[in-house]
């Protein structure tokens, strides 16, 4: 009998309570507070997968093997290709060890004092993923009538990953293998996805910075808006009042006008 050893891959996993907290955050962010009943989100997405509430002790998880149930003592694992599946806590603890401290752990320990984009927030933006090689793309192109000899081999080594985000925007990552002998479909797709995810970070960073830079509406501003008067802390309104009060400059005379003195 031939023995095999499981490859040392790094996965992410969350508890039942962490999944509930994520679902509540997503529902509130999407304006679906009515979807939260007795503190439990009823339907939401996680890592691009739809999660459904069955009862307060169970969520239905779509996996590659079909729909599975996640209970309060289970862990929800996200695999190397973005697939999710529940795992019993005792099996999880017997199978996995904590990974060495990574950059995210260091950030949480040293620089986690204000709003920021997290890996979990990034994964929550992804609603679907699509993989194909350049050869598959060419083969599916309707207008490609001529294919040079040997075209398939190099194009088979170029893998693309297209991630669709929840607002409909798409990002693309790719992976190219130099030697045909070294090509591995699983590794190529994993690298392509990692590169696609890197395209999302600056997009979410810009959105967060935009939100943080938005002026905060004070009580005095709100009262002024209701009264139809300029906001007390709005210098633009003061400048507009000044410009409205000055007289137009008369350029026909030799002496400076009253407004320009």
Could you read off the pLDDT of 164-189 as tens digits, one per residue?
999 999 999 999 998 888 899 889 99
215 falls in which pLDDT band (50, 70, 90)? confident
The structural domain count of the chain equals 2
Assess whether 157 and 204 both reside in one domain: yes
In a domain, 231, yes or no: no
Beta bridge partners of 220: none
Chain position carrying tokens 């039942």: 16
C-beta separation of 138 from 146 below 8 A: no
User: What is the average per-residue pLDDT within 30-38?
Assistant: 90
Q: What is the DSSP string of 51-106?
A: EEEEETTEEEEEETTEEEEEETTEEEEE-TTS-EEEEEHHHHHHH--PPPP-HHHH
In a domain, 164, yes or no: yes
If you average pLDDT over each of 44-53, 110-119, 213-222, which comes out highest?
44-53
In a domain, 189, yes or no: yes
Gap between the Cα atoms of 135 and 158, Å rounded:
8
Gap between the Cα atoms of 69 and 50, Å rounded:
13
In a domain, 186, yes or no: yes
C-beta separation of 159 from 192 below 8 A: yes
Assess whether 19 and 77 both reside in one domain: yes
Higher pLDDT, 72 or 231: 72
Q: Which of 95, 116, 136 is the last residue of a domain?
A: 95
Higher pLDDT, 99 or 61: 61
Where helices occur in the chain by DSSP H, the ranges are 16-29, 89-95, 103-110, 119-125, 134-139, 152-155, 185-198, 200-213, 219-227, 235-245
Gap between the Cα atoms of 165 and 168, Å rounded:
5
Q: What tokens does 64 get?
A: 């590659």
Q: Which of 95, 114, 133 is the last residue of a domain?
A: 95
Assess whether 132 and 87 both reside in one domain: no
In a domain, 240, yes or no: no
Instruction: Average the pLDDT over each of 14-28, 38-52, 62-76, 226-240 and give the range with the smallest value.
Output: 226-240
Assess whether 70 and 140 both reside in one domain: no
Flag whether pLDDT at 147 surpasses 70: no
Structural domain boundaries enclosing 141: 124-212
Gap between the Cα atoms of 253 and 251, Å rounded:
6
In a domain, 256, yes or no: no
In a domain, 129, yes or no: yes
């Amino acid at each position: 009998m031939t023995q095999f050893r499981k490859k040392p891959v790094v996965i992410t996993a969350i508890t039942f309570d962490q999944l509930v907290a994520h679902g509540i955050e997503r529902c509130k962010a999407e304006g679906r507070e009515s979807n939260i009943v007795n503190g439990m989100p009823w339907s939401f997405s996680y890592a691009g997968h739809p999660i459904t509430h069955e009862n307060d002790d169970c969520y239905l998880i779509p996996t590659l093997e079909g729909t599975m149930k996640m209970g309060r003592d289970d862990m929800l694992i996200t695999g190397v290709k973005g697939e999710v599946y529940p795992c019993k806590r005792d099996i999880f603890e017997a199978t996995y060890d904590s990974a060495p401290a990574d950059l995210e752990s260091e950030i949480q320990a040293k620089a986690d004092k204000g709003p920021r984009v997290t890996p979990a927030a990034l994964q929550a933006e992804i609603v679907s993923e699509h993989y194909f090689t350049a050869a598959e793309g060419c083969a599916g192109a309707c207008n490609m009538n001529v294919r040079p000899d040997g075209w398939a081999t190099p194009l088979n080594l170029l893998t693309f990953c297209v991630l669709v985000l929840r607002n409909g925007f798409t990002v693309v990552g790719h992976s190219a293998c130099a030697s045909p002998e070294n090509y591995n479909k699983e590794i190529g797709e994993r690298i392509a996805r990692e590169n696609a995810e890197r395209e999302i970070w600056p997009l979410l960073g810009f959105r967060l910075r935009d939100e943080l830079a938005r002026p905060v509406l004070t009580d005095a501003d709100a009262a002024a808006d209701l009264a139809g008067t300029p906001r007390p802390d709005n210098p633009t309104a003061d400048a507009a009042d000044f410009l409205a009060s000055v007289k137009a400059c008369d350029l026909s005379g030799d002496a400076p006008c009253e407004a320009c003195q």
